[in-house]
Chain A
């Protein structure tokens, strides 16, 4: 039985979610949640997962406070109400192209 979980969308990826900062969906595992997210929002999936469906090296995924790498990866099971955070690498401090 699937429960509703929340995926937090970081600012740099909100252009794919029409500006939404969170997406709620039904999923049993982190893998399912990300696959569903990719289906709902075209172009977002490839920003997070590589061609083999693994999280990209410049993206970190957390369930609650815990890094997915310390859990069971994409197979990590979710409980209703779990919050998934996507944390991509951001260079910023100053901004290029500003002079």
Chain B
């Protein structure tokens, strides 16, 4: 006989074992039902009202949960063995009336007794996201989805800052930032993750600090580099959504091509003075076939047609509006709710205070996203965009 079995036999002699239905009856009469299983087991279901203390922390937590040492206590685990050890330990602590539930949660469930799948959110998360939890489209399940999601922001600039700020507030689990720039005073008119005190600091570092101050539960990944054909797939791997807030055509085409290849939704935004546009380029969207960026713009404008620095400029709040539209689209995609901007270009004219929508169609001959095409490979994006 193994030592374990000798010990169990001795425990069974000392500790009363009861069936799940008897345990339920005792619980209804005021006994404490303590579930000592691990968190991943409890996530599969646990009796309503059970105290989920965990075997590892049981002795440290039990007194707070059951302050009356004469209150009857029923211990349960998954099969009825760990609960015997747990009951023995509580007996040594001084609890007077202890039971171990035979067959554990497996038998509880098999006998058709009620159980619930307890919250995946801790009490701090429940407070933080209280206004999400009351929305049926988000709720606990949706919030848990957001917390398990990963979003990559291309650029911690005018669009990336407001988008990331709200995605962090919303509890998106991981935010990645790709940017090789440092904070300049002229950024501060719109790039709201940065501040006067951070002038000269890498934007990705500044972004991390601000995001972590707002919501320390968000994991921030920083890539202080310029996106290139060589690093794009390594960086994009594992992200659920890419938010494009880049400032140059080579990056926009590269982001598009990588998203098409990897099947990642590309949430697009661009701004110019008082005008902005947002869309979602995601040929893989199941409900509607939309275009990729290349369907819309097969080629970038040559340098002589691209607006000069002198002409450019933007109302600081404008990328805020567009970046937040990108954030909203991102959250909808992560939750799988609503109708995304796939195949639709939403145009905002701040001077007119007007939103317009244009319909976008996929190009059936698109070399990157057309059906049945092999991915043609990454190209020299600088050459493609700035000419020979």
In the complex, chain B residues whose CB is within 8 Å of the CB of A21: 351-352
B360 within 8 A of A: yes
**Cβ-closest chain A residue relative to B274:** A11
Tell me whether B248 is interfacial, beta carbon within 8 Å: yes
B206 close to A (CB within 8 Å): no
State in angstroms the CA–CA spacing of A53 and B246 once bound together: 31
Q: Interface with A: B29-37, B228-236, B265-273, which one?
A: B265-273
Interface size, chain B (Cβ < 8 Å): 51
Whether the Cβ atoms of A57 and B270 lie closer than 8 Å is no
Knowing A90-B270, A92-B272, A93-B271 are in contact, say whether A65-B297 is a contact too (CB < 8 A). no
Contacts A57-B299, A94-B155, A96-B309; is A12 near B361 (CB within 8 Å)?
no
Mostly, the A contact residues are loop
In the complex, are the beta carbons of A90 and B272 less than 8 A apart? yes
Query: Could you tell me which residues of chain A, from 48 to 99, have a CB within 8 Å of some CB in chain B?
Result: 56-58, 60, 62, 65-67, 69-70, 85, 87-99
* Shortest Cβ distance from A12 into B: residue: B307
B24 contacts the other chain (Cβ, under 8 Å)? no
Contact with A65, one of B159, B296, B306, B359 (Cβ below 8 angstroms) = B359
Q: Which residues of A contact B244 (CB under 8 A)?
A: 93
Kindly list chain B residues whose C-beta atoms are within 8 Å of the C-beta of A94.
155, 157-158, 181, 187, 191, 245-247
Is A15 in the interface zone, CB < 8 Å from B? yes
Binary contact readout B288-327 vs A (1 if CB under 8 angstroms, 0 otherwise) = 0000000011111100011101011110000100000000
Report the minimal beta-carbon distance from A24 to chain B, rounded to whole angstroms: 16
Q: How far is the CA of A10 from the CA of B276 in the complex (A)?
A: 10
- The verdict on B347 contacting chain A, using a C-beta distance below 8 Å, is yes
Q: Does A41 contact B (CB under 8 A)?
A: no
Which B residues are in CB contact (< 8 Å) with A95? 158, 247, 309, 312-314
Given B249, B274, B311, B347, which contacts A89 in the complex, CB threshold below 8 Å?
B249
Q: Which of A58, A69, A97, A98 interacts with B305 by CB under 8 Å? A: A58
Q: How far does the Cβ of B296 sit from chain A's closest Cβ, in whole Å?
A: 6
B116 CB contacts on chain A under 8 angstroms: none
Q: How far is the CB of A47 from chain B (nearest CB, A)?
A: 6
Q: What's the interface size class on A, roughly?
A: 20 to 34
Contact A11 B273 (CB under 8 A): yes
Question: Given A11-B274, A99-B184: A65 and B357 within 8 A (CB)?
Answer: yes
- Report how far A45 CA is from B86 CA in the complex, Å: 83
- How many angstroms from the CA of A81 to the CA of B226 in the assembled complex? 46
The residues of B that contact A99 with a CB separation of less than 8 Å are 184, 186
Whether B359 contacts A93 by the Cβ 8 Å rule is no
Flag if A11 contacts B275 (CB, 8 Å).
Answer: yes
Question: Given contacts A66-B359, A67-B361, is CB(A12)–CB(B249) below 8 Å?
Answer: no
A85 to B358, CA, bound (A): 9
User: A88-B301, A91-B246 in contact; A67/B358 too (CB < 8 A)?
Assistant: yes
Within residues 6 to 24 of chain A, which ones have a CB less than 8 A from any CB in chain B?
Answer: 10-12, 15, 21
Question: Which A residues are CB-close (under 8 A) to B274?
Answer: 11
Q: Nearest residue in B to A66 (C-beta to C-beta)?
A: B359
The distance in angstroms between the C-alpha atoms of A80 and B300, with both chains bound, is 33
**Cβ distance A48 to chain B, nearest Cβ, rounded Å:** 10
Are B297's CB and A93's CB within 8 A? Answer: no
CA distance A97 to B270 in the complex (A): 17
Give complex CA distance A89, B253 in Å.
11
Contact B361–A93 (Cβ < 8 Å): no
A90 B359 Cβ-Cβ under 8 A: no
Q: Does B335 contact A (CB under 8 A)?
A: no
Instruction: For A58, give its contact among B299, B356, B357 (CB under 8 Å).
Output: B299
Known A-B contacts A58-B299, A65-B357, A98-B186; A93 and B157 likewise in contact (beta carbons under 8 Å): yes
Min C-beta distance of A73 to chain B, whole Å: 13
Whether the pair A57, B298 counts as a contact (CB closer than 8 A) is: yes
Of chain B, the residue at the smallest CB distance from A88 is B301
For the complex, is B80 an interface residue (Cβ under 8 Å from A)?
A: no
In the bound complex, residues from chain A placing their C-beta under 8 Å from that of B191 are 94
Residue B160 interfacial (CB < 8 Å) = yes
Measured CB to CB, the nearest residue on chain A to B191 is: A94
Listed from nearest, the 6 A-B pairs whose CB atoms lie closest are A94-B157, A94-B247, A97-B309, A57-B299, A58-B301, A89-B297
Residues of A whose CB lies within 8 Å of any CB of B are 10-12, 15, 21, 47, 56-58, 60, 62, 65-67, 69-70, 85, 87-99
List 12 other contacts, CB 8 Å, given A21-B351, A92-B158, A95-B158.
Answer: A21-B352, A56-B301, A57-B297, A62-B358, A67-B361, A88-B301, A91-B246, A91-B306, A93-B245, A94-B187, A96-B312, A99-B184
